[in-house]
Amino acid sequence: MNWIKNFSIVFIVTIISVKCADLMLGHLAPESAFGINERGISRSLNMREINPHFNAVLWPSQDYIEGTDSLKRDGYLIRTDEYGFIKNGNEINFSDDVLKSIIFFGGSTTEQLFISERSRWSSILERNLNEIDQENSYIVRNGGFSGNNSMHSTLNFIAKGAPLSPDYVVLMHNMNDLGILRLTGSYWSTPSKFSLVQVQESSLYMMLRQIKDILIPNSYELLKRNTSNNDDFEAFRTQDIVDIKIIENQFRRSLNTFIDVSLQWGAEPILMTQFNRINPDDELFKKQSSNMVNSEKYIKNYARLNNVIREVGASRKVDVIDLANLIPSSSEFMYDPVHLNENGSRLAAEILTEYWTKKLRL
């Protein structure tokens, strides 16, 4: 036991000596001798995306299924390319003549996790355009990610969209922006999960998380589900709903930011309104909003943000694809208040195919 005691004393003394020497060196040496990036808290912009080269079959949870009226509990293939865009599953021999590129950005309604790979509108649209015009090539990328708002999409376009020099970038947001802005009034006041700036975790924390992901991913998720209420906005629930004028102002600025950034990098911006079943006559929405504070106001505010999209498009002379009006507000096309089922995805693909056929004069 003596050797353990002696070793512990030597170890502690060594650590203290090294730390004292380092503090003395820091006091005596000029500040320029040390990198400021290694001091304080490391922060970065929060690039919310599915990891590049992701390949998995995802199953909707039972809780998620209970919030729908037609979604099947099945496995859905999700794969991403080297940039983190969702693959379309198409086997297309792209020609070398002309390559037209379209990128869609949005939240889960663009991502379409629980739609089969080749039934997502981005996949169908890509096949349709290449079948209609076989002399040229068209590549369609899906940059949607669950929970993202329009500011996240702008960051994603800057980080990974602009370097690909797309011809068109399409933005569809409403619900996620409204969800944050109505409770906080700002894109910068959010739960950490949705923050535009994230704090970098320590190397030790990241190592422990990787070990957890390898050893006990299922046990951890089960424990988390049973011990947490999973309400990211719990801290904001007691606040008054933000006035629509503040919400609208923030949303309008965000849309204009996306347009400005897209134009500066040579891509034509296109806006889309968000299809939905958010209306007082929809049984599923009434059920889900039964605990919502002032659901009538939410319905009006949601409709107002779709109008803001139309107004910004008109004022900036940017095309608006009005999916909110073109896709019926019905369970026939959506399995919950905002997510398309396969019928709805096919209808969206038809609408988008018709739009680009006219636009490109195919």
Name 55's bridge partners.
79
- Structure token digits, residue 350: 């038809």
Q: How far apart are CA 87 and CA 77, in angstroms?
A: 10
Q: What pLDDT score was predicted for residue 218?
A: 61
pLDDT at 334 over 80: yes
- Structure token digits, residue 309: 């999209």
Higher pLDDT, 276 or 19: 276
- For residues 256-280, give the mean pLDDT: 97
- For residues 72-81, give the mean pLDDT: 93
- How do beta strands 99-106 and 168-172 pair? parallel
H helix or E strand, kind and range, residue 345: helix 342-359
Half-sphere exposure of 234 (CA within 13 A, CB side): 6
Digit-coded pLDDT (tens) for 212-255: 666 666 666 666 666 655 656 555 555 668 899 999 999 999 99
pTM of the entire predicted model? 0.84
Digit-coded pLDDT (tens) for 96-112: 677 899 999 999 999 99
What percent of the chain is predicted at pLDDT more than 90?
A: 65
Q: How far apart are CA 110 and CA 145, in angstroms?
A: 7
Q: How far apart are CA 176 and CA 109, in angstroms?
A: 10
φ, ψ for residue 75 (rounded to 5)? -90, 135
What's the CATH code, domain 48-199+234-359? 3.40.50.1110
Lookup result for tokens 């997502």:
120
Q: How far apart are CA 140 and CA 53, in angstroms?
A: 17
Q: What pLDDT score was predicted for residue 289?
A: 86
pLDDT at 207 over 80: no
Q: What pLDDT score was predicted for residue 106?
A: 98
